[in-house]
Structure 1
Amino acid sequence: MSAVPLRRSVHRLLIHGVLLATSIATVFPLVWMVSSAFTPNEIITARAVRLWPEDPTLSNFTIAASRHPIWMWLWNSILTATLITLGKLLLAVPAGFAFGRMEFPGRRPLFWFVIATMSFPTVLAIIPTYIAVVKMQAFDTYGAMVIPSIPYIGFYVFYMRQAFRSLPASMFEAARIDGSGLWRQFMEIGIPNVVPAIAALSVISFMGAWNIYLWGQLVLEDGFKKTLTTGIATFADLEGTERVWGPLMATSLLSIVPVLVIFLSAQRFIVDALAPGLDER
């Protein structure tokens, strides 16, 4: 074997080795969490790490549910993430159609203003938003969690604009000739042809809303109104020095399963929607 092919083989082997090591380091915490979720709490730290428990048990879920309202947290997470996602789509989809297929004065400056909001650090808006929530007497309500999270739709508007602009103009011209107004064009032509983009943004929005932590910690005080993301922190607050790794890992597993299921079931839509290049016309 000549030197050049040998060097390429060694280089390829090193790359695969680094990627394999990185993958193992990335996946191992998840594997340990799953294993610990089904391992009796008293023996999690009393034995060597194993990839799967010898005697799997559901007792950690029972213990977690007896100490904290984890099923209520799960429902709160589903409810708030769903409402935030619907709110974002109700604003972003029509706005994307307006910017992509309609002509009106100030369209371009207004669109660039929407794009500019993507660079605005959301953390800067936390204090004024919190003050507004308190003054409106909405503190510790689902509305305080949902409504302030909806307006951050710069990327959603941009992506829906690109999705609508990628559709052939001839379809809309034919609809106008047939006497269809803008609303009918939007509902009967635009929406059915951008379903993959809407599905992809729905998953992205749901995952982002599901993982909201800082804002939830600020505006949700009642233990029964917390989401799973914010509720998990109470394990550290209430348990003190007691080792509760099993119930904690069981609750953590519960917090990722719905998002993982949604992502895996919709990944085809995500790939179909995000693969095409964005049109900057």
Structure 2
Amino acid sequence: MKLRVFVYAVLVAGCVLAIFPYFLTVLTAFKGPGQLSETMPWEPGVPPSTAAFHRLFASGFGGYLVNTTLVTAGITLGQVVFAVLAAYAFARLSFPGRDALFWVYLSTLMVPPVVTMIPLYLMMQKLGLVDTWAGLMLPTMLGTPYAIFLLRQFFRSIPADLEDAARIDGAGRVRTLVSIVLPLSKPILVTVTTLAVVANWNSFLWPLIITSSEDKRLLSVGIALFKGEIGVDYNAVMAGSLIALAPLLVLFIVFQRFIVRSVAVTGLK
């Protein structure tokens, strides 16, 4: 009994530590300019104020929101399509060096993104894609090793007999993939899409480096660079953070059962 109480106490403490920053974000976003200095961080502003949201959108935040939505949708679509094609090839097609190529590609997960940031920027510069939508989206649009790994593992769990039966009926590789494999892969497709949306929605370093125009600025960069007339407007920054966080929270709540199921099937712990 004492052990159980101790375990629950530790779990509750960990939960509080994890949730507390988000709690402060909500409280700060709904405080007026004077309430931030007049109250403790964990005290709500009375009465709640939406002035920070008005200042935020008056500064062009709505454009950042639209840019982020479009860029996230485009990159996510590209990542899912190319990851599906690559994963199916690694899972079902036979060609020389298939497994070696897969593990070499997967090993790039061990390389920190900052290591390739400068060479990637120089490539975009040589191609004339600095401060363009193409330069912003192309480097991550053609699939990611982690997404390909998850999809490959899931595809390998689908009985090959189903695909053999489809080929006997005259279906080609593409028809088999579209009509047989993908309908059975909804959980992992939802998982890969969710992970891609979260990663691209929160992307900061690459958009900061590759773009300089305000009309191409994304949410994460816009929030980081947001300043008031005197110093940093923390109320507006927290309001922007809250707006950026809300879609991701809703996305996870809606699709969490698919994520859990796909992780269980692929054998990841």
TM-score in terms of structure 1 length: 0.89
Q: 2:76 aligns with which of 85, 97, 104?
A: 85
Question: Deviations along 1:163-212, whole A, 9 cap, x unmatched?
Answer: 11111121111112112111111111011111111111000011011111
CA distance in structure 1 between the aligned counterparts of 2:20 and 2:267, rounded to whole angstroms: 36
Q: Name the counterpart of 2:207.
A: 216
Q: 1:250 aligns with which of 222, 228, 239?
A: 239
Secondary structure at the residue paired with 1:276? helix
Q: Name the counterpart of 2:257.
A: 268
Q: Which amino acid is the alignment partner of residue 253 of structure 1? A: L
Gaps of 5+ in 1: 1-8
Q: Return 106-115 or 159-168, whichever deviates more.
A: 106-115
Matched, 1:233 2:240: no
CA distance in structure 2 between the aligned counterparts of 1:125 and 1:183, rounded to whole angstroms: 34
Larger Rg: 1
Q: 1:44 aligns with which of 36, 61, 65?
A: 36
CA distance in structure 1 between the aligned counterparts of 2:12 and 2:230, rounded to whole angstroms: 36
Q: 2:114 aligns with which of 108, 117, 123?
A: 123
Q: 1:59 aligns with which of 30, 51, 63?
A: 51
Q: Is the 8 A contact 2:83 2:142 kept in 1?
A: no
Question: Deviations along 1:98-128, whole A, 9 cap, x unmatched?
Answer: 1112222322222222222222222111111
Deviation at 1:18, TM superposition (A): 2.1
Question: Deviations along 1:236-275, whole A, 9 cap, x unmatched?
Answer: xx44754622111111111111111112111121111112
Q: Name the counterpart of 1:143.
A: 134
Deviation at 1:28, TM superposition (A): 1.3
- CA 114–50 in structure 1, closer or farther in 2 if over 3 Å, else same: closer
Q: Name the counterpart of 1:190.
A: 181
CA distance in structure 1 between the aligned counterparts of 2:17 and 2:94, rounded to whole angstroms: 52
Gaps of 5+ in 2: none
Q: 1:34 aligns with which of 8, 18, 26?
A: 26
CA distance in structure 1 between the aligned counterparts of 2:162 and 2:142, rounded to whole angstroms: 31
Secondary structure at the residue paired with 1:180? coil
Q: Which amino acid is the alignment partner of residue 275 of structure 1? A: A
Identity among equivalent pairs (%): 31
Q: Is the 8 A contact 1:115 1:158 kept in 2?
A: yes
Q: CA RMSD of the aligned region, Å?
A: 1.8
CA distance in structure 2 between the aligned counterparts of 1:262 and 1:51, rounded to whole angstroms: 29
Q: Is the 8 A contact 1:36 1:246 kept in 2?
A: yes
Q: Which amino acid is the alignment partner of residue 86 of structure 1? A: L
Q: Is the 8 A contact 2:29 2:52 kept in 1?
A: yes
Secondary structure at the residue paired with 1:55? coil
- CA 171–139 in structure 1, closer or farther in 2 if over 3 Å, else same: same
Matched, 1:22 2:14: yes
CA distance in structure 2 between the aligned counterparts of 1:65 and 1:225, rounded to whole angstroms: 16
Q: Is the 8 A contact 1:41 1:247 kept in 2?
A: no
Q: Which amino acid is the alignment partner of residue 267 of structure 1? A: Q
Q: How many residues align?
A: 268
Q: Name the counterpart of 2:172.
A: 181
- CA 163–74 in structure 1, closer or farther in 2 if over 3 Å, else same: same
Q: Name the counterpart of 1:3.
A: none
- CA 266–145 in structure 1, closer or farther in 2 if over 3 Å, else same: same
Q: 1:71 aligns with which of 62, 78, 81?
A: 62
Q: Which amino acid is the alignment partner of residue 198 of structure 2? A: M
Q: Which amino acid is the alignment partner of residue 97 of structure 2? A: G
Q: Which amino acid is the alignment partner of residue 103 of structure 1? A: S
